[in-house]
Amino acid sequence: MNKKNQKTEWPLWEVFYQPKDGKPFEHAGSVHAPDAEMALQNARDTYARRNEGIAFWVVPSDQIVASTPEDVGPFFDPANDKPYRHPQFYSVPRAVKKRK
Amino acid sequence: MDTQQQLDEFQKRIDNGETIEPKDWMPERYRKQLIRMMSQHAHSEIVGMLPEGNWITRAPSLKRKMVLLAKVQDEAGHGLYLYSATETLGAERRELVEDYLYGNAKYSSIFNYPTLTYADICVIGWLVDGAAIVNQTMLAKSSYGPYARANLRICKEESFHKKQGYEMLAKMADGTPEQQRMAQDAVNRWWWPTLMMFGPHDSDSPNSAELIKWAVKTKTNDELRQHFVDRMVMEAEAIGISLPDPNLKYNEETGHWDFGDIPWDEFWSVVKGDGPMNRERMRARRKAYEDGEWVREAAMEYARKKKLREGKAS
Ligand SMILES: [Fe+2]
Ligand SMILES: [Fe+2]
């Protein structure tokens, strides 16, 4: 038990990467870094040693706002009673269907 | 306190094969067990850089230096994926690291063995990374989402680790008599400690049943170990290396290779801190951490001042 509780902990950043041109960004994980510039460099060294990403976003973890599992029901239920948002809700004349 | 109803609902989700995400309700014990297991896995990746790092400057060619450097850097990456995943459970990175450096957290006992010759580097890639692949392939299907995803990422990199080791070992086994002797000697020393990597027999592994019930693991220590032995017997034979176990024998009935008794006394003494390299590994890790403190501080201070300057300029 020598030195305990050293004080410096760099802030946490969430890392998102774009795997390929034209693809949407995905969450990769997180890194610790003192500032945005180093967060990007750490993200590259940690999550793209084999060109897994061609672009990165880093966001301070405490700036992410997420929905909570507890209110998943009420939060998403406005979508549940709207079958008319799906194409299957509508009928199409037989002749047109066949030509697909 | 977790209520019975909550526990039942949680178990139902697990049995349905659902993935548990950081904000989902989970039993306190599930969280605790995961933090213990995941941080132990992370510490192992980090300390695992030391035995191989020992040979980077002395690797026999520029190509082998580059390969070893890339492999060791990957292991640092694995440690970081896993720390990052453990932090989603509410643990702090610094606490995790300090619990390992100054507290009771453990790491895989395999890294408490010395790398005496360059052949050890070949054998580590083949056997130690080979065993890690068996374990991590299972963990990539773990019920805890961040842990499963970290392991998936790791698995994508491990096959390079294993193949570079196996290729080098095959070359040595096909080399001069002295190289052949070195290769065989390294295999002889690493074989049993590698089998211990899968942990004690199921009957002596108190955590195993619980982790399987929660689908953190899906196979027992003994199942994984058997799978590994079956594979390695074939791979050893293919390159003319023998495994140091006179009791290895194919069992027609089970379709598996039976093997001799694992020296568990040695395992427990290494776990308790008396392996050949335990003290040296801990010393090196503490030194790296403590020597790095001023760098972490300076970088924070630099970031703070830069922000101040930017604030003034605008
Ligand atoms: Fe690894
Ligand atoms: Fe590895």
What tens digit of pLDDT does each residue of B186-205 get? 999 999 999 999 999 988 88
Nearest by CB to A10, from B98, B300, B307: name it. B300
CB contact under 8 A, B290 and A35: no
The mean per-residue pLDDT over the stretch A57-70 comes to 93
Q: What is the pLDDT of residue B206?
A: 81
Considering every ligand atom, which ligand is closest to the CA of B130? Answer: 2
Residues 107..166 of B with a Cβ closer than 8 Å to A: which?
146, 149-150, 153, 157
**Chain B residues touching A38 at Cβ < 8 A:** 299, 303
CA of B129 to the centre of ligand 2 (A): 5
What's the gap between Cα B213 and its chain centre?
Answer: 22
Mean pLDDT for chain B overall:
96
- Residue A100: per-residue pLDDT: 54
Question: Looking at residue B223, what is its pLDDT?
Answer: 96
A45 and B102: CB-CB below 8 Å?
Answer: no
d(Cα B242, Cα B183) in Å, to the nearest integer?
10
Q: List, as own/partner pairs, every contact residues B239-248 make where C-beta atoms lie below 8 angstroms and the sequence separation is at least 24, other chains included.
A: B239/B166, B239/B169, B239/B170, B239/B173, B239/B174, B240/B173, B240/B174, B241/B169, B241/B173, B241/B183, B241/B184, B241/B187, B242/B184, B242/B187, B243/B187, B243/B191, B244/B187, B244/B188, B244/B191, B244/B192, B245/B191
Least reliable range by pLDDT among A96-100, B81-85, B160-164: A96-100
Residue of B nearest to A68 (CA): B23
pLDDT of res. B290: 96
Instruction: Find chain B residues with C-beta within 8 A of A4's C-beta.
Output: 98, 102
Residue B276, pLDDT score: 96
CA distance A80 to chain B (A): 21
Can you give the pLDDT at residue B1? 67
Q: For position B2, what pLDDT does the model report?
A: 80
Of A59-73, B276-290, B297-311, the one with minimum mean pLDDT is A59-73
Give residue A7's pLDDT band: very low, low, confident or very high (50, 70, 90): low
Quote the pLDDT of residue A1: 38
Residue A2: per-residue pLDDT? 43
Residue B272 has pLDDT above 60, yes or no: yes
Lowest-confidence region among A17-26, A42-51, B305-314: B305-314
pLDDT of A54 above 70: yes
Contact B77 A30 (CB under 8 A): no
pLDDT for B99 = 96
**Residue B37's pLDDT is what?**
97
How far does residue B297's CA lie from ligand 2's centre (Å)? 31
- The yes-or-no verdict on residue A98 having pLDDT over 80 is no
A interface test, pick of B38, B82, B92, B94 with most A CB neighbours within 10 Å: B94
* Confidence check: pLDDT of A73 > 50: yes
- Find the B217 Cα to ligand 2 centroid distance in Å: 20
Q: What phi and psi, each to the nearest 5 degrees, are found at residue A71?
A: -105, 30
Q: ipTM of this predicted complex?
A: 0.91
